[in-house]
Amino acid sequence: MKIGILKYRSGNLASVANALKRLGAGYLVTDEAERLEHCDAVIFPGVGHAAPAMEDLRNLGLDQWLKMTDKPVLGICLGMQLLFESTPEGDCRTLGLLPGRLEKFKPNSIKVPHMGWNHLEQIKNHPLLNGLGEEDFFYFVHSYFAPVTEYTLAAGRYGDLFSAVVAKKNLMGVQFHPEKSSRSGRRLLSNFLDLAGSSEGN
């Protein structure tokens, strides 16, 4: 099994690659859609600003690939956010694969960014969340958040309730950084690898 790590300007590639290495998974890092086609599943990482990230994805044709693919995809942090329709960050249209517009946390009674370890609420059953529950903590760093929708598998709470884990068919996303979330994050990534393995050859 091979996992593609989608490479573009906004990726935190080293951390994701290290996490896959620790799990013993094969991976390749690429910005070419053609090479992603040879992978069993794809991780779509991301940190930083939405607007330059979208521009980079469009220039590489990866926005189209993400819209067309039926391979399991896991968006991480900004990668998850870009699956939604639009964001006030640079007032930017994003991939539109999930309904909803991002919002920014308002620093009235809370500090922004939402930075640190938080747990999940309102968890739905999904193979991605096997073995994970409200007692698990994940590492978050973000200033914008996605609304809770019918595709939300688990919510996070920081002032507002927001989407922490989402899934729509083959597309999945997590707002936190599983590659930095100790044993709970390792479990989530391992669940994703299991999903990728079970969809192999379908």
Partner 1 sequence: MLTKRIIPCLDIKNGRTVKGVNFENLRDAGDPVELASRYSREGADELVFLDITATKEKRKTLIGLVERIAAEIEIPFTVGGGIGSVEEMGDILRAGADKVSLNSAIVQNPDLIRHSSDRFGSQAVVAAIDARATGNSWEVYVKGGSEPTGLDAIEWARRVEMLGAGEILLTSMDRDGTKSGFDLELLQRTNTVTTIPIIASGGAGTIGHCIDAIRSGKADAVLAASIFHFREIEISELKSEMKKAGIPVRI
Contact positions vs partner 1 (CB under 8 A):
12, 14-15, 18-19, 21-22, 47-49, 107, 111-119, 137, 139-143, 157-158, 177, 179-183, 185-186
d(CA 89, CA 47): 13
- Minimal distance, residue 59 CB to partner 1, in Å: 18
d(CA 10, CA 48): 6
- Minimal distance, residue 1 CB to partner 1, in Å: 21
Candidate list 39, 89, 142, 177, residue with the active-site label: 177
The 3-state DSSP class for residue 125 equals coil
Candidate list 39, 89, 114, 179, residue with the active-site label: 179
Mode of pairing for the β-strands spanning 73-76 and 41-44: parallel
**Backbone φ, ψ for residue 55 (5° rounding):** -60, -45
Residue with smaller CB distance to partner 1, 47 or 92: 47
Alpha-carbon distances of 49 from 89, 90, 147, rounded to whole Å: 7, 8, 18
Cis-peptide, bond into residue 113, ω within 30° of zero: yes
Residue with smaller CB distance to partner 1, 87 or 181: 181
Q: Does the annotation count 200 as an active-site position?
A: no
Residue with smaller CB distance to partner 1, 115 or 198: 115
- Minimal distance, residue 197 CB to partner 1, in Å: 22
Residue with smaller CB distance to partner 1, 1 or 115: 115
- Minimal distance, residue 97 CB to partner 1, in Å: 23
Rounded CA Rg of the chain: 15
Residue 127 carries which side chain, given as an amino acid letter? Answer: P
- Minimal distance, residue 168 CB to partner 1, in Å: 26
Cβ atoms of residues 145 and 160 within 8 Å: yes
Q: Does the annotation count 179 as an active-site position?
A: yes
Residue with smaller CB distance to partner 1, 46 or 100: 46
Take residue 165 and report the two structure tokens written for it: 């884990």
Candidate list 77, 89, 114, 142, residue with the active-site label: 77
For 37-46, b/e burial (b = at least 16 CB within 10 A) is: eebbbbbbbb
- Active-site residues: which are they? 77, 177, 179
